[in-house]
Structure 1
Amino acid sequence: MVNEVDYLSIISGARHDWLARCLKPCFGFLSLFYGTAVAVRNRLFDWGLKRARPVSVPVISLGNLTTGGTGKTPLVAWLSQWFQEQGISVALLSRGYRALPGEVNDEKLLLDRLCPQVPHYQNPDRCASAEKAVEAGARLLILDDGFQHRRLARDLDIVLIDAVNPWGYGHQLPRGLLRESKSGLRRAGFVLITRVDQSPPELLENLITEVKQFVPEHRIAHVRFAPRGLVNAAGETRELTEVTGKQVWGFCAIGNPRGFQQTLVDAGGRVCGMRVFADHHHYSAGDLQEIGSEAERSGAELILTTAKDLVKISEQKLSGLPVWAVEIGAEIVQGRLILRKSCGKRGWWSQRNKSVNT
């Protein structure tokens, strides 16, 4: 009845037409069933009636309370690179959400470029992937988007919360974007609040107060995503100053398009238009032709997208306009040292490595 973009506009309150007014109560009713099912499943794991499957090496999970849009990919890359610098053999495990049959999804394509030395296993059965990774020599596993995937035991759960939209419009799926209630944060070993630079200080302070109800303050860190440069489909790079003062037209298929639009503004661009597709959208030739035509009509000088979107297209120009992706880097602006200690110096880490090495 509605596509993903329309769905988000309805649950966010951006749409007020008759369809939105009819669907919101329906979504709310369905949320009751969804929330009950999730709560029962979590209790079964909490009480030991369902058991998580352990593996012989440490496992760190990065996940969300909400569906998508918190910036996991650059943080997965940051964490993988940090462990590599410590001389630890790392492997990534992910589900492969919305990958085409026989192919991998955009997140793997991007992580393969950002972390070329790190094996990445995509399989809905992440327990099977874990065994395969350990057999191949991995000494630490990073579980991407794994907070609700409780079948695989983990040693540390890192949960990301987007400061711009922390609680998914305040409701569980499908009325909102919460995968489970806020109380699920009690399982978290560490919380990363992302996009802190895009949130008003008073709202950020309120969010921290809410999170502290479930996680101690010393296990909360703050993250911003800073634009670092431009890259195109040929792998060519440009300084970010190429965007400054230019008329730019953006497109993306990510969980938080509003955050990307703010990134373009932060990079110095004058945004004259934006096309938003459903998260993980696979671009057709028709899509790209429309993007080029719309950008040309808007008077844009550059077409900008995300690194996650760029890996799915090969064109360097659309309607004669250069296409560049804005490269983003994760910066932990508060709590970096504590996060590193949580990942690398905890008792579980030394104990696990002792068993692996023997």
Structure 2
Amino acid sequence: MNFLTKSYLAYSHGEKTVSPWVILKPLGWLGSVIVGTRRAFYDHGVYASEEPPLPVISVGNLTTGGTNKTPFVEFIAEQLSRWGLKPGIVSRGYGGTTSEPVVVLNGRGDRSVVGDEPLLLSSRLTDVPVAVSSDRMADVAALLDHDVDIAVADDAFQHRRMVRDVDIVLVDATCPFGNGTSLPNGILRELPGSLSRAHAVVISKSDQTSPEALRRLKERISHWVPQERIFYSRLADPLWERWDGERFVPVGKNMTAFSLTVFSAIGNPHSFRNTVLKSGAAILHEFEFKDHHHYDANDLQKIEDAARKSGGKAICCTEKDIFNLPRGYVPRVPLYVPRISALVEEPGRFWNVVVQALRPQIVVASNGYGEDAIGARLARKAAQRFPQAEVCAFPLVGSGIPYKKIGVRILPPLSKSPTGGIIKYHLRDLYQEIKAGLFRQISRQLSAWNQLRSSCRTVLCVGDAYLLCHTLWGQGKKALMVATAKTKFISGHWKLESFLYRKGCRKVWTRDEETAVELRQNGVAAVFEGNPIMDLSCD
């Protein structure tokens, strides 16, 4: 690693405050604006998030690498397997070239195509398929061909296009947020306030800093996440192995007699260094390369020469580095690797939070008294079809009496509309609604949607394009839509309404076949499977 790279890393990680790299501050501010705008677009449905075909647990972070995500993904997948589920993993495959999903099994794959981390995970979890590409939605779909029950997404916290059931975010205790600014001035992909989207925050490497520093970090994180959803993790004592060029040969845990030349190409080489030292080995020389660096013969020649000249007997790298060695490379001096795994303090409490977040929440939203009646019947059917799900109602107009009659929980706030929500025919109706607090009520409803954004899995809208627009702006996910207000024979659909249905709906059920045909011609995923007003009211 050259001087300029080391100088930049020291500045971006907050180790040096006085640095010529301060010239990047304007770009850091610009990065924050771009990321914040993108986040707002997803929060409010300008870019709509889509539901994957499997439940998804995401393991991510706010910074660029170095938080022990890979061992934590393995930790999650192993526990799911112990429960009798069949997990699969989806990965971006940094350093790989594939744009179409490639499924890696038993650690067999081309590093240049899929990257190093998928190969590492697949070699450790031989029964778990790992799907790799730049399209995580396509990766999840590819896992369906391998009878997977649940997907674990590696590094997906910023992948807002895909809805996740559980977002676990790792924060490095030794360098939580770097210098506190966004890329490229700092190491933050998002500002710390984004932790409010997380279902659980795990402070990793908790054994590598002081109890007081941990306390202060937890207190800071609790500004955005309740303390009962903040956890500590660390790496277990490593099991050491020797790489002979083809396979790993177990060595054990005692490395006190070893003097090593270490090399790594990972996000946080200091953490790797600490692991080696805690195992009792001495470090004679150290080489650091850029994360995901693909070693060549010259790199390894320098490393081996340094080991011989320093009087040491061996070299050492991380398990991930093994997959970045040249094909066919056989070490000329012994090469040792610490095999690491993640541990979580209070595992029972941690898994309770994860399991609770996995329980899907279905929200039936409706904007009219007749729509409430239809919505109540749909809510009852959803509860019968998905008994493990929590089905809730979000009536925009009135007090949701049909939902109350069948015992469906109604989400606040409630209000009694003087016109029943019909304000488009006469100005006096609009005046009555405004006088009754229309804008205040809309603001309260959007705030309620905001609280649901990270917990709601599916929204079923019963009503018109206004309800869809209200729902998208409130929670950002593509909705299912039962269109009760308009047909081809009553007003038809404006171009703006068709646009909203096309961009914001996974599927639209219409009142008649002709309307479905009209909407499909405009690119809407519309179907006619019976008149929802007549069929459901007679059910």
- Does the CA contact (< 8 Å) of 1:59 and 1:140 recur in 2? yes
Segments of structure 1 that go 5 or more residues without pairing to the other structure are none
- Does the CA contact (< 8 Å) of 1:316 and 1:324 recur in 2? no
- Does the CA contact (< 8 Å) of 1:122 and 1:129 recur in 2? yes
Distance 1:343 1:123 in 2: 26
Corresponding position: 1:149 with 2:150: no
Deviation at 1:118, TM superposition (A): 0.6
In the alignment, what sits opposite 1:227?
237
- Does the CA contact (< 8 Å) of 1:226 and 1:328 recur in 2? yes
Deviation at 1:220, TM superposition (A): 1.1
2:340 is paired with a residue whose SS is strand
- Matched to 2:76, the amino acid is L
1:255 is paired with a residue whose SS is coil
Mapping of 1:289-300 within 5 angstroms? 289-300=301-312
Mapping of 1:211-226 within 5 angstroms? 211-226=221-236
Deviation at 1:303, TM superposition (A): 1.1
2:280 is paired with a residue whose SS is coil
2:119 is paired with a residue whose SS is helix
Corresponding position: 1:181 with 2:191: yes
- Does the CA contact (< 8 Å) of 1:163 and 1:194 recur in 2? yes
- Does the CA contact (< 8 Å) of 2:94 and 2:116 recur in 1? no
Deviation at 1:83, TM superposition (A): 0.5
In the alignment, what sits opposite 1:337?
348
In the alignment, what sits opposite 1:9?
10
Distance 2:38 2:356 in 1: 32
**Residue 239 of structure 1, aligned match among 232, 252, 266:** 252
Distance 1:348 1:210 in 2: 28
- Does the CA contact (< 8 Å) of 1:158 and 1:192 recur in 2? yes
In the alignment, what sits opposite 2:34?
37
In the alignment, what sits opposite 2:506?
none
- Matched to 1:64, the amino acid is N
Mapping of 1:113-124 within 5 angstroms? 113-124=123-134
Structure 1 window deviating more from structure 2 (301-310 vs 148-157): it is: 301-310
Corresponding position: 1:302 with 2:314: yes
- Does the CA contact (< 8 Å) of 1:172 and 1:179 recur in 2? yes
1:43-64 Cα deviation digits (max 9, x unpaired):
1111222211102321110000
- Matched to 1:139, the amino acid is D
Name the structure, 1 or 2, with higher relative contact order (CA <8 Å, separation 6+). 1
- CA gap of 1:3–1:283, structure 2 versus 1, over 3 A, is farther
Distance 1:39 1:198 in 2: 32
Query: What TM-score do you get using the length of structure 1 for normalisation?
Result: 0.91
Question: Percent of pairs identical after alignment?
Answer: 32
Deviation at 1:5, TM superposition (A): 4.5
Distance 1:146 1:72 in 2: 11
Distance 1:4 1:72 in 2: 23
- Matched to 1:62, the amino acid is V
- CA gap of 1:15–1:162, structure 2 versus 1, over 3 A, is closer
Mapping of 1:28-107 within 5 angstroms? 28-99=25-96, 103-107=113-117
- Does the CA contact (< 8 Å) of 2:261 and 2:284 recur in 1? yes
- CA gap of 1:346–1:61, structure 2 versus 1, over 3 A, is closer
1:132-190 Cα deviation digits (max 9, x unpaired):
22344221111110000111101110000000000022221111101010100000000
- Does the CA contact (< 8 Å) of 1:57 and 1:356 recur in 2? no
In the alignment, what sits opposite 1:272?
284
Deviation at 1:10, TM superposition (A): 4.1
2:238 is paired with a residue whose SS is strand
1:263 is paired with a residue whose SS is helix
Distance 2:84 2:183 in 1: 41
Query: What TM-score do you get using the length of structure 2 for normalisation?
Result: 0.61
- Matched to 1:270, the amino acid is A
Give the greater-gyration-radius structure (CA).
Answer: 2
In the alignment, what sits opposite 2:448?
none
- Matched to 2:170, the amino acid is L
- Does the CA contact (< 8 Å) of 1:315 and 1:323 recur in 2? no
Distance 1:204 1:198 in 2: 10
- Matched to 1:237, the amino acid is P
Distance 2:242 2:361 in 1: 42
Mapping of 1:160-175 within 5 angstroms? 160-175=170-185
Deviation at 1:4, TM superposition (A): 4.7
Distance 2:259 2:186 in 1: 34
Structure 1 window deviating more from structure 2 (71-80 vs 309-318): it is: 309-318
Distance 2:260 2:38 in 1: 46
1:317 is paired with a residue whose SS is coil
Structure 1 window deviating more from structure 2 (51-60 vs 74-83): it is: 51-60
1:169 is paired with a residue whose SS is coil
Distance 2:15 2:310 in 1: 24
**Residue 348 of structure 1, aligned match among 359, 379, 392:** 359
Distance 1:13 1:133 in 2: 40
- CA gap of 1:347–1:6, structure 2 versus 1, over 3 A, is closer
Deviation at 1:2, TM superposition (A): 7.9
Count of matched residue pairs: 350
- Does the CA contact (< 8 Å) of 2:11 and 2:179 recur in 1? no
Corresponding position: 1:263 with 2:298: no
Deviation at 1:13, TM superposition (A): 6.0
- CA gap of 1:356–1:286, structure 2 versus 1, over 3 A, is farther
- Does the CA contact (< 8 Å) of 1:220 and 1:335 recur in 2? no
- Does the CA contact (< 8 Å) of 1:316 and 1:322 recur in 2? no
Distance 1:135 1:6 in 2: 47
1:236 is paired with a residue whose SS is strand
In the alignment, what sits opposite 1:112?
122
- CA gap of 1:144–1:355, structure 2 versus 1, over 3 A, is farther
- Matched to 1:70, the amino acid is T
Deviation at 1:344, TM superposition (A): 2.8
Distance 1:306 1:155 in 2: 31
Segments of structure 2 that go 5 or more residues without pairing to the other structure are 99-111, 363-381, 389-539
1:291-322 Cα deviation digits (max 9, x unpaired):
1011221222221111111233354534xx21
